[in-house]
């Protein structure tokens, strides 16, 4: 098996090396009159920062695999080359650095043409990276950058022999909501070894959408078992979630530091608050972050309210974002949902903290102000 795995790695490496050839050809066209490897490396990083990032992540990916093998008393299998050295050892780079290519480069060199081409490439690179960053931002908008305490429970549940495809898909969708080392490792392992094509494809696409390293894997050869091609659709409603919370399922194992009580009109503010809480290693619950698969607006019902109450029970505290969209100055609620959440939190005796963005202090709750992406306790 190790020999077979290593052959697959070598083949994947050859394909990856081939993908770097065209960028290197373009880098070659804008090299200065006298150039060294450092010039190639510098221009590659500048013009192909996305590809360079993948080279670095690919190195870290295979290095971690070798570290794991070593930790279980096995020989290293991959021995990835450090990124700077990797590029230098490519046959294409060695060719560009050869005396013959340097001589030919000098014969055809035109500094004005080089500078013009370089400027055009720099503009294209900026536009390209803007598009990539915009796409990544969109893909990560509903992710929390934190490792929830129950993540290990979810991963263990995924690998239980009794887990059916529906169970696994639910767990995958839950782990997709977090951007942390443990979730990345989970999806990389799924991409490497999951034999069900639907789950493996989801893992690969998820890694790709977050600009994480994952190689596109071909289907398994030989006799295929039925479960490999099995598919399912995850179409859920609030009642489905309520049933899961009430039973001994992964949904029942969740816990949160804060339940965010808010108006949907303040969604941008809510996002900023959750980002800040994550930087403080605090895990927040927000219905359109955490339960987006179940609590669709088209299915709003009394079950939705019960689910929200259950999530309040699973939260240590409630963070009330008080704005002109939730209350007036006399603290009259505009939203029955927010009022229900606050009333239920009081009923349970939960501590309620408040980001107060309405003129006039709200003495009813432990109050914070929101300033420059920071929560500051009022004096």
Check 46, 341, 347, 372 and give the catalytic one.
341
Which contiguous run of DSSP H or E holds residue 315?
Answer: strand 315-322
Neighbours of 29 (CB within 10 A): 13
Per residue in 357-372, pLDDT tens?
A: 876 545 555 555 444 4
The distance from CA 106 to its chain's CA centroid, rounded to whole angstroms, is 46
Which two three-digit tokens encode residue 51?
Answer: 């590809």
Q: What is the mean pLDDT of the chain?
A: 90
- 32 with 84, same domain: the answer is yes
pTM for the model stands at 0.84
- 280 with 339, same domain: the answer is yes
Per residue in 129-173, pLDDT tens?
A: 999 999 999 999 999 999 999 999 999 999 999 999 999 999 999
Evaluate whether residue 285 is within a structural domain. yes
Evaluate whether residue 327 is within a structural domain. yes
For residue 297, pLDDT beyond 60: yes
Quickly state the pLDDT bin for 3 (edges 50, 70, 90).
low
What is the pLDDT, as a whole number, of residue 373? 47
- 372 with 311, same domain: the answer is yes
CA angle 87, 88, 89 (to 5 degrees): 90
The answer to whether the CB of 352 falls within 8 A of the CB of 367 is no
Into how many domains does the chain fold? 3
- 19 with 135, same domain: the answer is yes
Tell me, yes or no, if 313 is annotated catalytic. no
Evaluate whether residue 146 is within a structural domain. no
For residue 38, what are the domain limits? Answer: 2-140
- 40 with 87, same domain: the answer is yes
């Amino acid at each position: 098996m190790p020999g077979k795995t290593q052959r697959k790695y070598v083949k994947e490496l050859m394909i990856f090396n081939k993908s770097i050839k065209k960028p290197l050809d373009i880098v070659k066209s804008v090299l200065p009159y006298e150039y060294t490897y450092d010039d190639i490396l510098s221009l590659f990083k500048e013009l192909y920062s996305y590809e360079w990032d993948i080279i670095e992540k690919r190195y870290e990916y295979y290095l971690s695999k070798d570290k794991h093998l070593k930790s279980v008393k096995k020989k290293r299998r991959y021995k990835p080359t450090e990124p700077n050295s990797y590029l230098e050892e490519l046959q294409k780079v060695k060719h560009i650095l050869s005396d013959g290519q340097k001589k030919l480069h000098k014969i055809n060199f035109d500094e004005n043409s080089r500078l013009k081409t370089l400027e055009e490439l720099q503009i294209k690179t900026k536009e390209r990276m803007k598009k990539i960053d915009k796409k990544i931002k969109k893909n990560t908008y509903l992710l929390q950058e934190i490792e929830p305490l129950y993540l290990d429970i979810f991963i263990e549940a995924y690998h239980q022999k009794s887990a059916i495809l529906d169970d696994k898909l639910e767990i995958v969708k839950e782990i997709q909501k977090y951007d942390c080392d443990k979730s990345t490792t989970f999806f990389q392992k799924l991409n490497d070894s999951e034999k069900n094509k639907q789950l493996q494809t989801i893992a690969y696409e998820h890694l790709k959408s977050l600009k994480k390293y994952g190689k596109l894997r071909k289907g398994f050869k030989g006799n295929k078992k039925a479960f490999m091609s099995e598919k399912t659709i995850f179409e859920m409603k609030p009642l489905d979630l309520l049933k899961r919370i009430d039973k001994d399922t992964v949904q029942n194992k969740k816990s949160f530091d804060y339940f965010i009580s808010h108006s949907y009109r303040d969604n941008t503010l809510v996002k900023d608050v959750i980002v800040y809480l994550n930087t403080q290693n605090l895990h927040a619950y927000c219905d359109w972050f955490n339960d987006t698969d179940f609590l669709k607006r088209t299915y709003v019902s009394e079950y939705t309210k019960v689910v929200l109450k259950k999530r309040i029970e699973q939260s240590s505290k409630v963070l009330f974002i008080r704005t002109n969209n939730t209350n007036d100055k006399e603290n009259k609620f505009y939203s029955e949902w927010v009022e229900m959440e606050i009333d239920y939190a009081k009923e349970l005796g939960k501590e309620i903290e408040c980001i107060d963005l309405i003129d006039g202090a709200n003495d009813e709750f432990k109050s914070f102000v929101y300033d420059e992406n920071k929560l500051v306790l009022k004096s």
